[in-house]
Homo-oligomer: A and B are copies of this chain.
Amino acid sequence: MSVLAVGTVAFDRIETPTGMRDRALGGSAMYVTMAARYACEDVRLVAVIGNDFPEKYTEIMRSRGIDLDGLELRSDGLTFAWGGRYHEDLNTRDTLYTDLNVLADFKPKLPSSYKDARIICLGNLHPDVQQSVMDQVSKPEMVLCDTMNYWIDKTPDALRNVLARVDCLVINDSETRELSGCSNLVRAAGKIRDMGPEVLIIKKGEHGALLFAGENIFSVPAFPLTDIADPTGAGDAFMGGLAGYLSGCRDLDLDALKSALVYGSAVASFTVEKFGPEGLYDLTTSEIEKRVDSFRDLTTIPISTLSGY
């Protein structure tokens, strides 16, 4: 019943057609843990911050039950900062800047209390950093891993070594095509799973997500929303919801994975309705349950199909 997330805690500058936030609370580990906590009581964060990180942001996470023993404070540097500007349709964005700061030489050291975590989420970091985290945990039941085009391109060998060890890779469709060198997603999934991960989850933004596990493929749409404020963190919140849900499942079987995909999609849909992580601050269990039910309405094929005519 525990989730460990390693990744970033950051300052985000977010510009969308409808609004702007500067030095907002951001970072993959923050989004993953803030989403996972709705389905998991024991959520542990591993990341690094600098001397400019405000106590109010730490408090936002701590007050919501995130274990911050693994949040390293570096007094000699500044917090990782990222800025992005979304285009009109919110599906694409330009990076304004990426200031690595204390992230540049981040070497995560896990508190001993963290090492027995059941589900591990390896955020999008250098593959060698992801490796070092796997070296420090004892026997996780499942390791989920994110990556990005940058590592696929720049550190292919290190990434291959990571892929050989992880159970489930969670990446987007363009990363899937780039990593596999294959434009057909079904073939691409086969090639990537041959590299190691038994399970592949492909994030497709407004088009939802695909799960490849065993011989099975499962598709979940994105929840259709009238108002999208800010897509930042949706993919990380999806992974967090997914990991949180899995942490509570007796068996990590196909049904657990499918359910986790829906749960993660539901939590991610709340994330994009507000700026930054604000949509993840104070959800209720009943709100999430209602949205999961809405996914059923959205996808359930009538039992009468092929018999009613």
Contact = CB atoms under 8 A, between A and B. Distances in A.
A183 interface: yes
Contacts of A299: 218-220, 299-301
Interface string A94-123: 000000000000000000000000000000
B306 A289 contact: yes
A306 B288 CA distance: 10
Contacts of A228: 184
Contacts of A301: 220, 258-259, 262, 292, 295-296, 299-300
Contacts of A216: 297
A89 interface: yes
Interface in A149-205: 177, 183-187, 204
Interface in A189-241: 204, 206-208, 210, 216-221, 224-228
Given A89-B183, A204-B207, A216-B297, A255 B224 contact: no
Given A183-B88, A186-B226, A219-B299, A305 B207 contact: no
Interface of A: 39, 88-90, 177, 183-187, 204, 206-208, 210, 216-221, 224-228, 245, 248-250, 255-256, 258-259, 262-263, 289, 292, 295-302, 304-306, 308-309
23 contacts: A89-B177, A90-B183, A184-B226, A204-B207, A207-B208, A208-B219, A216-B297, A217-B298, A218-B297, A218-B298, A218-B299, A219-B298, A220-B299, A248-B309, A250-B309, A255-B302, A255-B308, A256-B309, A258-B305, A259-B309, A262-B301, A292-B306, A300-B300
